[in-house]
């Protein structure tokens, strides 16, 4: 698991992981946690560890904008997004978005199954954020760049773990 490999420490002398795990299970039993509750805890921990394995690709997109007004009244609306090669020449509206790397799609499916959520929704949540309008009446989906997607994945993992 990527999260466990960051320290570079894979074994600690004189530590028996199996005995420690048995002690944790016995302690949970002593505190009144039933088998199904213990399984839920393990399921969430496994989901967190697998979530940390998911990585992203950057994809170049270009936007077609409709502009109107002028000065402080200038407004723009995105008419379409496209991926190269359908994009025209590079423009200031070009940007990068993230996508879950294809080799990790099965991991997203596994995490979604463990968390009992929709895989497509999880994929979307990992690569975009929702922004509420100023009047708080609507939301706009904003794609995340690769570093933001990684940070969001780690924040989700941390939140699940806590």
pTM over 0.85: no
Q: State both tokens at 148.
A: 């933001």
Short-list 4, 7, 2, 47, CA closest to 157: 47
For 96, phi then psi, to 5°, come to: -115, 145
110 in Cβ contact with 50 (< 8 Å)? yes
Q: State both tokens at 66.
A: 């409709």
User: For the chain, first and last CA: distance in Å?
Assistant: 19
Q: With pLDDT > 90 as the criterion, what percentage of the chain qualifies?
A: 54
Tens of pLDDT, residues 11-58: 888 988 899 999 999 999 999 999 999 999 999 999 999 999 999 999
Dist CA 62 CA 80 (whole Å):
8
Q: State both tokens at 28.
A: 């949970």
Tens of pLDDT, residues 64-91: 545 445 555 444 444 444 455 555 544 4
Dist CA 73 CA 77 (whole Å):
13
What is the arithmetic mean of pLDDT over 108-118?
A: 97
Residue 33: Cβ within 10 Å count: 15
Does a cis peptide bond (omega within 30 degrees of 0) precede residue 85? yes
């Amino acid at each position: 698991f990527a999260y466990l490999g960051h320290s570079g420490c894979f074994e600690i002398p004189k530590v028996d992981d199996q005995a420690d795990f048995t002690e944790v299970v016995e302690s949970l039993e002593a505190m009144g946690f039933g088998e199904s509750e213990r399984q839920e805890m393990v399921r969430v921990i496994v989901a967190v560890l697998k979530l940390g394995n998911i990585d992203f690709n950057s994809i170049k997109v270009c936007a077609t904008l409709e502009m109107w007004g002028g000065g402080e009244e200038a407004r723009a609306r995105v008419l379409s997004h496209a991926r190269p090669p359908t994009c025209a020449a590079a423009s200031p509206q070009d940007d990068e978005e993230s996508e879950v790397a294809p080799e990790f799609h099965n991991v997203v499916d596994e995490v979604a199954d463990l968390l009992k959520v929709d895989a497509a929704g999880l994929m979307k949540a990992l690569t975009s954020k929702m922004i509420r309008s100023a009047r708080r009446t609507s939301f706009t989906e904003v794609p995340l760049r690769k570093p933001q997607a990684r940070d969001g994945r780690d924040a989700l993992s941390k939140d699940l773990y806590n």
